[in-house]
């Protein structure tokens, strides 16, 4: 039985990798033109090439830019031919001497997700760029560069499979594993128009609208959340599914000065509260996780720490520049989790401290069309990794994880802890 299961898994992996759109038939039919003298290539016309193997149509185009010229083999996507469509090839040559510079092959419908092949002597070398960051480089392929001009991309996958994690780069389209996260994101999205932005605002365990700092009651005619209160609202929906209760603001405010910070920050715990967002998101994640597992995990037990291609700094997290790549990796490797983020940066004067200044909910997933979505919810609006990084340049983001597979029940936004219209409960 074990051998059968392993064989089925291998066949499944081979099948989803083979689904990558190939255009090697089109490239092979244009091999003479690809390698032709510069003058002949520049006189050629753009054309549409139908591939007999699968009936797909590839757009062949010639472009000149700066000191280079390009031959493009663009795959169709949704009735169009976007430059960054999956599997498209861009072959770059030097305009002056006609020498090949590189081949760029797009892995996803994103301009910063691609394989780059380049010649080294007679061999082909490879590097992989994912959301703008080079994650593999210096891979020596067992092909000449002239061969990879026309080889199927599947040959490159096979030749590099011992080094490159292709299951991560080209994951199987299993949208059903993200069902819970998709339902949660839709429920959050439905609630956003109902949320009023109120500084220091949150819902307490009994459904009362309070101010986080002193637990005083908000005005009935103007109650709402700040970013911390919003994260608690989402966390409460998951906590209720495990306990039938909502979390206490007082408990979530608990500081852990013995487990984070330093002597400079300790002096400013009262007037600056530099680690509030970190304590808040850790406390929420650990509370939910402990309730679900009936355990007593520690203060840092829900942290996201060990990731490839991103460096974790204690109590600070990861560079926000890497957030999109991080969210993609987490979407594929941890499909059942969402994340609470605490954004922090150098802030203030006398002294300048690393201050946790903003919190958000991250829901990375692969949708039913096989496309990656980096959903971020903040206060009363939806954004993404690029938007967050633009608003907080040079910042870091600390992440805690919470499993989403037991249902949720978001607190009612109008009164007490009743079932919201966009929520569901499933154990």
Q: 341 — alpha (psi -120 to 50), left (phi > 0) or beta?
A: beta
Report whether 361 contacts 327 (CB < 8 A): no
- Domain endpoint, select from 169, 190, 215: 169
Report whether 364 contacts 375 (CB < 8 A): yes
Residues 199 and 55 in one domain: no
Residues 160 and 290 in one domain: no
- Domain endpoint, select from 169, 197, 231: 169
Q: How many structural domains are present in the chain?
A: 2
Q: Which residues pair with 364 in a beta bridge?
A: 374
In the prediction, which pLDDT does 90 show? 99
Please report whether residue 349 resides in a domain. yes
**Which pTM does this prediction carry?**
0.89
Mean pLDDT of the chain: 89
What is each CA distance from 53 to 73, 307, 413, in whole angstroms?
16, 40, 56
Please report whether residue 416 resides in a domain. no
Residues 150 and 191 in one domain: no
Please report whether residue 411 resides in a domain. no
- Assign 218 to helix, strand or coil: coil
H helices of 294-322, where?
Answer: none
- The domain containing residue 6 runs over which residues? 2-169
Please report whether residue 94 resides in a domain. yes
Any idea how long the chain is? 427
**85 CB contacts (<8 Å, ≥6 apart)?**
21, 74, 75, 76, 77, 106, 109
Query: What are the DSSP E strand ranges found in 131-179?
Result: 133-144
Residues 47 and 182 in one domain: no
**44 CB contacts (<8 Å, ≥6 apart)?**
33, 36, 62
Dihedral, CA atoms, 232, 233, 234, 240, nearest 10 degrees?
A: 100
Residues 109 and 225 in one domain: no
Strands 337-347 and 396-403: antiparallel
Residues 254 and 304 in one domain: yes
Please report whether residue 211 resides in a domain. yes
**Residue-wise pLDDT tens digits, 135-177:** 999 999 999 999 999 999 999 999 999 999 999 999 988 878 9
317: which DSSP letter? Answer: B
Residues 242 and 387 in one domain: yes
CA nearest to 71, candidates 25, 97, 102: 102
Residues 193 and 304 in one domain: yes
Chain centroid to CA 308: how far?
13
Report whether 345 contacts 395 (CB < 8 A): yes
Q: Which residues pair with 315 in a beta bridge?
A: none
In the prediction, which pLDDT does 173 show? 82
Residues 152 and 255 in one domain: no
Residues 161 and 42 in one domain: yes
280 token code pair: 């808040």
Helix axis angle, 276-293 relative to 227-243, nearest 10°?
10
Please report whether residue 205 resides in a domain. yes
- Domain endpoint, select from 126, 144, 169: 169
107: which DSSP letter? Answer: S
**Residue-wise pLDDT tens digits, 207-239:** 999 999 999 999 988 999 999 999 999 999 999
How many helices and strands, by DSSP H and E, does the chain display?
14, 16
263 token code pair: 């002597």
In the prediction, which pLDDT does 350 show? 67
Percent of the chain with pLDDT over 70: 87
The CB density around residue 97, as the number of other CB atoms within 10 Å, is: 7
374 token code pair: 């980096």
- 112 has a pLDDT exceeding 90: yes
Mean pLDDT, residues 77-88: 92
Residues 219 and 329 in one domain: yes
Give the C-alpha separation, 169 to 324, whole Å: 14
In the prediction, which pLDDT does 169 show? 97
Please report whether residue 89 resides in a domain. yes
**Residue-wise pLDDT tens digits, 176-211:** 899 999 999 999 999 999 999 999 999 999 999 999
Give residue for tokens 């989803």: 16
Residues 330 and 388 in one domain: yes
Complete edge-to-edge strand list for the sheet that includes strand 89-94: 47-50, 57-65, 68-75, 89-94, 100-106, 114-120, 123-130, 133-144
């Amino acid at each position: 039985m074990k051998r059968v299961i392993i064989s089925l898994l291998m066949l499944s992996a081979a099948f989803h990798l083979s689904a990558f759109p190939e255009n090697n038939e089109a490239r092979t039919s244009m091999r003479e033109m690809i390698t032709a003298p510069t003058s002949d290539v520049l006189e050629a016309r753009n054309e549409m090439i139908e591939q007999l193997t699968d009936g797909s149509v590839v757009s062949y185009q010639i472009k000149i830019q700066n000191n280079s010229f390009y031959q493009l083999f663009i795959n169709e996507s949704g009735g169009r031919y976007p430059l960054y469509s999956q599997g498209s090839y861009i072959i770059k040559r030097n305009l002056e001497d006609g020498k090949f510079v590189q081949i760029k092959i797009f892995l996803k419908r994103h301009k910063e997700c691609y394989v780059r092949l380049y010649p080294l002597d007679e061999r082909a070398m490879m590097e992989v760029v994912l959301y703008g960051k080079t994650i593999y480089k210096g891979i020596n392929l067992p092909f000449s560069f002239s061969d990879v001009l026309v080889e199927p991309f599947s040959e490159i996958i096979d030749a590099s499979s011992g080094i490159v994690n292709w299951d991560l780069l080209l994951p199987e389209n299993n949208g059903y594993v993200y069902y819970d996260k998709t339902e949660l994101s839709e429920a959050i999205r439905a609630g956003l128009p109902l949320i009023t932005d109120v500084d220091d605002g949150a819902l307490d365990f009994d459904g009362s609208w309070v101010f986080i700092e002193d637990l005083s009651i908000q005005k009935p005619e103007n109650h709402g959340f700040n970013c911390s209160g919003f994260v608690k609202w989402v966390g409460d929906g998951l906590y209720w599914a495990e306990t039938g209760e909502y979390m206490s603001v007082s408990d979530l405010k608990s500081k852990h000065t013995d487990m984070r910070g330093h002597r400079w920050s300790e002096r400013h715990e009262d007037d600056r509260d530099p680690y509030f967002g970190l304590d808040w998101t850790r406390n929420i994640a650990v509370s939910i996780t402990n309730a679900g597992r009936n355990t007593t995990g520690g203060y840092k037990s829900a942290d996201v720490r060990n990731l490839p291609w991103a460096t974790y700094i204690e109590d600070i997290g990861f560079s926000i520049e890497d957030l999109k790549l991080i969210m993609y990796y987490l979407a594929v490797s941890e499909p059942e989790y969402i994340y609470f983020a605490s954004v922090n940066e150098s802030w203030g004067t006398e002294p300048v401290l690393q201050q946790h200044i903003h919190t958000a909910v991250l829901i990375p997933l692969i949708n039913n069309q096989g496309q990656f979505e980096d959903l971020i919810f903040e206060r009363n609006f939806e954004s993404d990794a690029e938007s967050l990084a633009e608003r907080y340049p040079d910042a870091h983001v600390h992440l805690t994880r919470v499993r989403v597979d037991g249902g949720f029940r978001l607190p009612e936004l109008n009164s007490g802890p009743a079932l919201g219209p966009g929520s569901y409960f499933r154990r």
